[in-house]
């Protein structure tokens, strides 16, 4: 039973650890034997082990040299066996490194970090999001889940890739879902909008089931699945069609001196939206008075949110009341 247990334990141990153990045992045995063969030249086992490593590595410092015929024959045996063992160790480490890099690129290595963000879907929006985060020097780490890509250029993007179905519990665990701070579910533009939104809702359900409190931002291609996505646990909904349609409308009917798309893109790249509860001292004040009160605080007041209704740039006489939310733009930094 003990031999069987040792056998199973040995083969379950990683190859790297087995190689290190074999080298240490072999060098210790050679070191101990040369110590007993020539105790005057090798006064301690440690000197013998040192000589064994130097000889097996074919370095040959010459600080310890066997003098007897038996010692020299023993040295030849060490060179024939020890050098092969060390060479196999080096090749094994190199092969393991290459294999690990290939597994990383193919999305087969679990993510071991925490406080990261997960992006579902490798597409132009995901690439742009990572680029913006890097440009703004955000410290967030990204894990990308994608089921279609065979390999991802992880050397070009600061990401950890996981290949698999984002609605699978196992895939989400590989991506470290339980320690993530946010998940962005992008829509698959290659699918029919209804089918793509179904995949988004299904992924949202799986994410919420594995992490009840993580922030989930879901991209939908239409408004037909908004209710289902919210019931599934989405924290925020991005409706791509509505955003693009609004930009197209502005491009067609805006004042010719303005550039709506460029303006919006520049704003989103340099500023972020802020929601702040109306301070008590500003209750029952007009919008003009509140605008003057927040002026100079590194924020641009755009309007207010009342009962989930947006009032953007209201009239100066618009009166604010308790519970209103101030909608502002503030710099990213």
Please give the Cα distance from 323 to 135 (Å, whole number). Answer: 36
170, 137 contact by CB (below 8 A): no
CA 154 to chain centre: 11
Sorted by where each starts, the structural domains of the chain and their CATH numbers stand as 2-104 (1.10.287.70), 117-243 (3.40.50.720), 271-331 (3.30.70.1450)
Three-class secondary structure of residue 128 per DSSP: helix
For 199, residues 6+ apart whose C-beta sits below 8 A from its C-beta are: 167, 187, 188, 191
- Please report, for the chain, how many H helices and E strands are present, in that order: 11, 10
Please give the Cα distance from 305 to 288 (Å, whole number). Answer: 16
Please give the Cα distance from 80 to 63 (Å, whole number). Answer: 20
Q: How far apart are the first and last CA of the chain?
A: 64
How far apart, in Å, are the Cα atoms of 34 and each of 40, 60, 86, 163, 279?
A: 10, 16, 19, 53, 84
Ranges of the chain with pLDDT below 70: 1-16, 90, 93-94, 96-97, 100, 154-156, 254-257, 333
- pLDDT value, residue 104: 72
Three-class secondary structure of residue 218 per DSSP: strand
DSSP state of 38: -
Cα Rg, the chain, nearest whole Å: 32
- pLDDT value, residue 101: 72
DSSP state of 278: P
Q: Could you tell me which residues are beta bridge partners of residue 216?
A: 183
> Has this prediction a pTM greater than 0.85?
no
- pLDDT value, residue 120: 95
Per-residue model confidence as pLDDT tens digits over 137-152:
777 889 999 988 777 7
- pLDDT value, residue 143: 93
DSSP state of 113: -
- pLDDT value, residue 155: 65
- pLDDT value, residue 245: 78
């Amino acid at each position: 039973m003990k031999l069987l247990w040792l056998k199973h334990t040995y083969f379950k141990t990683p190859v790297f650890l087995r190689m290190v153990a074999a080298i240490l045992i072999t060098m210790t045995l050679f070191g101990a034997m040369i110590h007993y063969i020539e105790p005057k030249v090798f006064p301690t086992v440690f000197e013998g082990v040192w000589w064994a490593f130097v000889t097996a590595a074919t370095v040959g410092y010459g600080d310890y040299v066997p003098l007897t015929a038996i010692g020299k024959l023993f040295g030849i045996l060490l060179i024939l066996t020890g050098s092969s063992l060390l060479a196999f160790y080096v090749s094994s480490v190199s092969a393991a490194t290459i294999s690990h890099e290939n597994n990383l690129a193919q999305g087969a290595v679990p993510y071991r970090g925490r406080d990261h963000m997960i992006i579902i879907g490798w597409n132009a929006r995901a690439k742009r999001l990572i680029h913006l985060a890097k440009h703004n020097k955000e410290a967030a780490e990204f894990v990308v889940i994608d089921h279609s890509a065979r390999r991802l250029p992880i050397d070009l993007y600061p990401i950890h890739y996981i290949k698999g179905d984002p609605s699978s519990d196992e895939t989400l665990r590989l991506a470290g879902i339980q320690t993530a701070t946010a998940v962005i579910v992008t829509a698959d533009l290659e699918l029919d909008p209804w089918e793509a939104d179904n995949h988004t809702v299904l992924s949202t359900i799986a994410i919420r089931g594995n992490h009840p409190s993580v922030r989930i931002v879901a991209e939908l291609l239409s408004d037909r699945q908004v209710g289902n996505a919210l019931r599934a646990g989405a924290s925020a909904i991005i409706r791509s069609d509505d955003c693009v349609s609004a930009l197209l409308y502005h491009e067609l009917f805006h004042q010719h001196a303005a550039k709506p798309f460029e303006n919006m893109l520049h704003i989103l790249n340099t500023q972020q939206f802020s929601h702040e509860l109306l301070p008590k001292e500003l209750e029952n004040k007009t919008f003009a008075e509140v605008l003057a009160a927040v002026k100079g605080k590194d924020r641009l007041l755009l309007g207010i949110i009342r009962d989930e209704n947006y009032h953007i740039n209201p009239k100066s006489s618009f009166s604010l009341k308790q519970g209103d939310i101030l909608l502002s733009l503030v710099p990213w930094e």
